Amino acid sequence: MDVQPQPVVLITGCSQGGIGHALARAFAASRCTVVATSRSRSSMADLDQDPRFFLQELDVLSDDSINRTLNNVLNKYGRIDVLVNNAGVQCVGPLAEVPLPAIHHTFDTNVFGPLKLIQACVPHMAARKQGKIVNIGSVTAMAPGPWSGAYTSSKAALHALTDTLRLELSHFGIDVVTVVPGAIKSNIGHSAAASYDRMPERNLFKPFEAAIRERAYFSQKSKSTPTDEFAKQTVAAILRKKPPAWFSHGHHSFVMTIMYHLPLFVRDFILRKAMKC
């Protein structure tokens, strides 16, 4: 009987303390060869001496960086079996006052970055008639609320792109999966608050300052799902022979699915109360 080679998994956004880092460890624990990437190799330093990981510096906004990383991976392993588009940025603030460059950056990172990698990887997967593309979305796209419109809309766009890709790429034996995390423990709250602090001072929404800052940490409360638990469940789903088209796990994921189906006036009432809008 032929022994199948270990799947080669490329994951973006693997900085320590985030979901990507936990996914990298979970894939490695599932006997995969993991190409762990982030903008800074030092942010993944704890993985550096482990032979299960091939560390690469990758900026998803740079075509040169993407091409260099893919060439390195293909030269070393000859293939990419699973692409996990995890790298992303938060953007907290009222849409009427968030600077447009911040919104552009959010969409560049959360939507166009994944699409660049997909377009780079698909020819190699299609040539082999197999592969998996996994896009990490967000449960907030199920029921968009106040104070994070740029982030939520970028993830909603990623969900829509993923649905289209699933249909288009099935002809080439490529499975496409939308992973929708609930509230998962990570460093995203600190990143959101830091980006908010760099924005110009608010005028119209000054009275909502406390609520906006609280939104930055909304997913990081005491009942949030541990990152390792989320990663273990997600990796198990992705590695199935026929992975699910949609996989959601974590605190609030079930509630947000219900919210999606509620009448808008009911959903708006709940979100206004929850987000102090």
Q: Are 71 and 173 in contact (CB under 8 A)?
A: no
Active site residue 196: no
| Options 76, 116, 132, 151, the catalytic residue | 151
| Options 155, 185, 196, 232, the catalytic residue | 155
* CA distances, 176 to each of 130, 132, 135, 253 (Å): 11, 6, 8, 20
The DSSP line for 169-223 is HGGGTEEEEEEEE-BB-SSHHHHHHHHHHTSPPPSTTGGGHHHHHHHHTGGGSTT
* CA distances, 230 to each of 23, 90, 181 (Å): 8, 19, 8
Q: Are 224 and 189 in contact (CB under 8 A)?
A: no
The DSSP line for 76-100 is HHS--SEEEE-------B-TTTS-H
Active site residue 155: yes
- Please give the Cα distance from 8 to 154 (Å, whole number): 28
Q: For 184, phi and psi rounded to 5 degrees? A: -115, 135
Closest residue by Cα to residue 135 from 105, 104, 102, 110: 110
Closest residue by Cα to residue 148 from 277, 16, 265, 14: 277
Query: Looking at the annotation, which residues are catalytic?
Result: 151, 155
